[in-house]
């Protein structure tokens, strides 16, 4: 009843740009830790949401936010200690040259600002991204997000390059070559490359983990471009390191942060060298009313302390290894061709078969729906939605990880049965 | 001591794009109602901040947010009653055709999305704005904000038109003519006009209040363009009506909301017709992780209830009239040429003298600093920062308004003395 009522009201008042997950949407009743309970009392294990990185409905977050909302929650035109202290604490977790921070509200705003800063610093507006990149929803960022708008709708100043195969031993060299070629094509079109934006876990390209980007970043710098590491999905411990780029043995020129930054309070940031921001700031003001407020900074401080304690990275490493091993074993016993890849606790189960993309997409989608029936929340990503994405809060227990694996096993068995009965 | 420490830390870790107000910045200790108390215990009367529209550190806001942060605070891929109920309540306060809402996090994001939706609906990307418009900081929105980037840096697809004199009896007819001419220039440059974006209080153009925009909006529609009302500053009762456009006897095609929407929680929205959003949504997904979360919706619900009770609009009307009358009297007794204009409780004291813009700018800046010494917070706006902007929370008392006027009187006297002693 309540579900129907909410679906109808939603249909009427929320603009037609919205999509819900699943054939029948989840109606949230409450959430705690790694569990979302629906309005009828059914408990779902959250294996999808990276935003509540220290768990849903964290009392520590609520308390930190509440204290600031009752003290003061102004903006950066005034000085306010919680915001400045947080900024100081945050930049201390980055390599030396990444010494300054500018706050924004969403990952999209952070990437939008990083593009403006890079174009100003490099004096050129061309941008290279990956073939299935997603960097956000402002117009400027949608233009560099082929997975959102399609290859035909990306900007004339944008080149989308192929990501080498994930098990390619010459990954870095091949990626570097693709960057060089993309740079030449941009130059020819009159938009020399000023920035290369890379999600450090290549999430929307299917969750790929190269071992190194040293040659790639050399190629970026040879083009005269800045390397922007999009850490909106891979940051704050997710990959087993504080930042995804650390595992790639490189230091970005600019880093963007978002999603888990404040456990759900709207907050994002661009991290970069002081001189680069100062030069931008001389020609362009940047003020963002809701960015860097005390309430958001307080929530972000709780997450940052968890990161600094090592709890998030440790859980990403050990939990990622545990779940990956279990899923690999289940897949190994199945007739369905699939492969599990992971960066810490960001896992992708790739249903391969790109030559028959509809099959892989159908299989991934079937698994998502069956896991939903098993009360485990996941979604898809990848070149043709052919990869099941698992990305639970970083407070998940071993027992909960084992439940995810069990659910996956059940879903995969059902897929086999369904395919056999259809004679496939 | 603490101020020096914070200024130094800020200088070191916050990117060089930040600007603080005043020759020596305010260091926030706490805030309550219309008062901000600095770390040394000095109390400042807040005559500037429209974000905390129902007052700083509202216990009602804190309680509403806290309840959701402890219950659930997910996203719009699931259904969650507080968000859907709020959306339903919000659109009911708009004219019939403005029946659907899409949430975002900041005014910039809302305007960025509105531009994308309008360009899609109109099939043309040209945009007309006012000469000193400010609509936000994403790249796409900065390109339509001449007051931010300068006239030379606005997009080729953008026309910035002059606003008629504020006391011009033929305001609407002249504005309509300017729209028509702007449309012709855009057409010639190969960017036919798809959207006209107007702040309903023309805030950054110096706070101007036309009596009607009926002819102007007719001209917009004749161009085949959409009329986007930017209500980020003028919305939620500020002008004495729920929305600034209501006083102009027109209905926009799209409306953008922000700043006071959730009393400081990061939240914004685009309001528009269902079919327009649906057509956009068919070709473009739009998902914004932090937009339309339960915690923000709960805070926004508190503000919306205050709006619906009539408390905000009533205070804007009576308080605006009271403060305007007092300031006009003080100005009338002064030798300094100035004029006070107001839209409800958004007041502008214009120091005129545009022929000698440096004089007007210097006078406005002097008044801002002297009011700061008198512990009243204001700032400047207008074509050459020649207008002192007053825009207190809409819970301000008559006594507090009288204090603002007294402070203004003192500041203006000091200006006269300073100018006399300099032989001006």
pLDDT in tens, chain A (424 residues): 789 999 999 999 998 888 899 999 999 999 999 999 999 999 999 999 999 999 999 999 999 999 999 999 999 999 999 999 999 999 999 999 999 999 999 999 999 999 999 999 999 999 999 999 999 999 999 999 999 999 888 999 999 999 998 889 999 999 999 999 999 999 999 999 999 999 999 999 999 988 999 999 999 999 999 999 999 999 999 999 999 999 999 999 999 999 999 999 999 999 999 999 999 999 888 999 999 999 999 999 999 999 999 999 999 999 999 999 999 999 999 999 999 999 999 999 999 866 656 899 999 999 999 999 999 999 999 999 999 999 999 999 999 999 999 999 999 999 999 999 976 5
Q: Percentage helix, strand, coil, to 5, in chain B?
A: 45, 15, 35
Interface test with B, best of A20, A78, A276, A283 (most B CBs within 10 A): A78
Residue in A13, A54, A55, A15 with CA at minimum distance from that of residue A31:
A55
What rounded mean pLDDT belongs to chain B? 96
Beta carbons of B111 and A137 less than 8 angstroms apart = no
ipTM of the modeled complex: 0.97
- Give Cβ neighbours of residue A48 (< 8 Å, ≥ 6 apart): A377, A378, A379, A389, A390, A391, A392
A272 and B15 in contact by Cβ < 8 A? yes
- Give Cβ neighbours of residue B201 (< 8 Å, ≥ 6 apart): B207, B208, B209, B233, B234, B238, B239, B244, B343, B346
Residue B284, pLDDT score:
83
Host domain of residue A334: 2-57+311-421
Say which CATH number the domain at A139 has: 3.40.640.10
Task: Compute φ and ψ for A128, nearest 5 degrees.
Answer: -110, 135
Whole-angstrom CA distances from A271 to A93, A254, A293, B26, B138 are 11, 6, 17, 25, 17
Residue B285, pLDDT score:
82
Mean pLDDT, residues B394-410 taken together: 98
Residue in A82, A53, A85, A95 with CA at minimum distance from that of residue A264:
A53
Count of pairs with CB atoms under 8 A, one residue in A, one in B: 341
Are A15 and A30 in a shared domain?
Answer: yes
* pLDDT tier, B352 (very low <50, low <70, confident <90, very high otherwise): confident
Mean pLDDT, residues B27-47 taken together: 98
Are A197 and A332 in a shared domain?
Answer: no
Domain endpoint, select from B250, B281, B308: B308
Domain endpoint, select from A308, A332, A348: A308
Residue A357, pLDDT score:
64
Quote the CA–CA distance of B76 and B101 in Å, as a whole number.
12
> pTM value?
0.97
Are A328 and A403 in a shared domain?
Answer: yes
Q: Which of B9, B25, B279 sits opposite A78 (nearest CB)?
A: B25
Are B106 and B14 in a shared domain?
Answer: no
Residue B266, pLDDT score:
98
B16 and A282 in contact by Cβ < 8 A? yes
**Residues within 8 A of A (CB atoms), B 38-97 only:** 39, 49, 51-52, 56-59, 61-62, 65-66, 69-81, 84-85, 87-88, 90-91
**Residues paired with B390 in a beta bridge:** B347
Say which CATH number the domain at B16 has: 3.90.1150.10
Q: Which residue of B has its CA nearest to A20?
A: B77
Quote the CA–CA distance of A120 and A399 in Å, as a whole number.
50
Domain endpoint, select from B286, B308, B330: B308
Exposure pattern of B40-69 as b/e (b: 16+ CB <10 Å)?
eeeebbbbbbbbbbbbbbbebbbebbbebb
Are A258 and A335 in a shared domain?
Answer: no
Whole-angstrom CA distances from A423 to A231, A416, B416, B423 are 43, 10, 92, 98
Q: What is the pLDDT of residues B274-298, one digit of tens each?
A: 999 999 999 888 999 999 999 999 9
Are A362 and A215 in a shared domain?
Answer: no
Residue B153, pLDDT score:
87
Cα of B259 to nearest chain A Cα, Å: 7
Residue B283, pLDDT score:
86
- Structural domain count of chain A: 2
B29 and A72 in contact by Cβ < 8 A? yes
Are B228 and B304 in a shared domain?
Answer: yes
Is the C-alpha dihedral spanning B208, B214, B218, B224 positive or negative? positive
Q: What is the pLDDT of residues B153-176, one digit of tens each?
A: 899 999 999 999 888 999 999 999
Residue A17, pLDDT score:
86
Are A268 and A221 in a shared domain?
Answer: yes
Are A66 and A15 in a shared domain?
Answer: no
**Residues paired with A342 in a beta bridge:** A347
Residue A27, pLDDT score:
97
Q: Which of A6, A70, A289 sits opposite B51 (nearest CB)?
A: A289
Are A339 and A394 in a shared domain?
Answer: yes
Q: Does B139 touch chain A (CB under 8 A)?
A: yes
Is B424 a residue whose pLDDT tops 60? no
Q: What is the pLDDT of residues B181-224, one digit of tens each?
A: 999 999 999 999 999 999 999 999 999 988 999 999 999 999 99
More confident residue, B19 or B234: B234
B288 and A12 in contact by Cβ < 8 A? no
Are B86 and B135 in a shared domain?
Answer: yes
Whole-angstrom CA distances from A358 to A146, A174, A205, B215 are 19, 28, 17, 54
Beta carbons of B48 and B378 less than 8 angstroms apart = yes
Residue A354, pLDDT score:
66
Q: Which of B3, B58, B105 sits opposite A290 (nearest CB)?
A: B105
Residue B354, pLDDT score:
66
Cα of B421 to nearest chain A Cα, Å: 32
Quote the CA–CA distance of A375 and A361 in Å, as a whole number.
21
A66 and B61 in contact by Cβ < 8 A? no
Beta carbons of A395 and A57 less than 8 angstroms apart = no
Are B49 and B155 in a shared domain?
Answer: no
Q: Above pLDDT 90, what percent of chain B?
A: 91
Q: Is A147 exposed, middle or buried (0-12, 13-18, 19+ CB in 10 A)?
A: buried
More confident residue, A153 or B270: B270
Q: Which residue of A has its CA nearest to B49?
A: A74
Is B118 a residue whose pLDDT tops 70? yes
Q: Is B221 helix (H, G, I), strand (E, B) or coil?
A: helix
């Amino acid at each position: 009843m309540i579900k129907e009522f909410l679906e109808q009201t939603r249909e009427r008042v929320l603009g037609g740009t919205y999509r819900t997950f699943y054939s029948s949407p989840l109606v949230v009743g409450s959430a705690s830790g790694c569990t979302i309970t629906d309005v009828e009392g059914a408990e779902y294990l959250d294996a999808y949401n990276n935003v509540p990185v220290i768990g849903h409905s964290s009392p520590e977050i609520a308390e930190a936010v509440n204290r600031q909302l009752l003290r003061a929650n102004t903006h950066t035109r005034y000085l306010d200690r919680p915001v400045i202290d947080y900024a100081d604490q945050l930049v201390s977790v980055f390599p030396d040259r990444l010494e300054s921070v500018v706050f924004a509200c969403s990952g999209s705003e952070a990437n939008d600002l990083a593009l403006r800063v890079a174009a100003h610093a490099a004096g050129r507006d061309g941008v290279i991204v990956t073939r299935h990149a997603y960097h956000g929803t402002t117009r400027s960022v949608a233009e560099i997000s082929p997975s959102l708008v399609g290859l035909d709708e990306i900007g004339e100043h944008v080149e989308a390059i192929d990501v080498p195969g994930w098990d390619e031993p010459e990954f870095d060299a091949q990626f570097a070559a693709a960057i060089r070629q993309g740079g030449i094509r941009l130059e020819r079109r009159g938009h020399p490359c000023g920035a290369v934006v890379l999600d450090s876990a290549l999430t929307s390209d299917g969750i790929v983990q190269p071992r190194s980007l040293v040659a790639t970043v050399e190629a970026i710098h040879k083009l005269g471009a800045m390397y922007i590491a999009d850490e909106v999905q891979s940051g704050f411990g997710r990959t087993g390191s504080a930042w995804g780029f650390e595992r790639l043995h490189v230091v970005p020129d600019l880093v963007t942060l978002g999603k888990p930054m404040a456990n759900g309070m709207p907050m994002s940031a661009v991290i970069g060298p002081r001189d680069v921001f100062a030069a931008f700031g001389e020609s362009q003001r940047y003020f963002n009313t809701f960015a860097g407020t005390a309430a958001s900074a307080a929530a972000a401080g709780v997450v940052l302390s968890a990161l600094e304690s090592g709890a998030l990275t440790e859980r990403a490493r050990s939990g990622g290894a545990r779940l990956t091993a279990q899923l690999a074993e289940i897949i190994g016993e199945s007739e369905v061709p699939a492969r599990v890849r992971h960066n810490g606790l960001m896992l992708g189960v790739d249903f391969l078969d790109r030559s028959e993309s509809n099959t892989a997409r159908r299989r991934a989608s079937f698994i998502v729906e069956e896991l939903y029936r098993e009360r485990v929340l996941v979604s898809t990503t990848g070149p043709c939605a052919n990869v099941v994405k698992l990305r639970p809060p970083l407070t998940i227990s071993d027992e909960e990880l084992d439940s995810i694996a069990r659910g996956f096993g059940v879903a995969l068995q059902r897929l086999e049965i369904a395919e056999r009965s259809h004679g496939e």
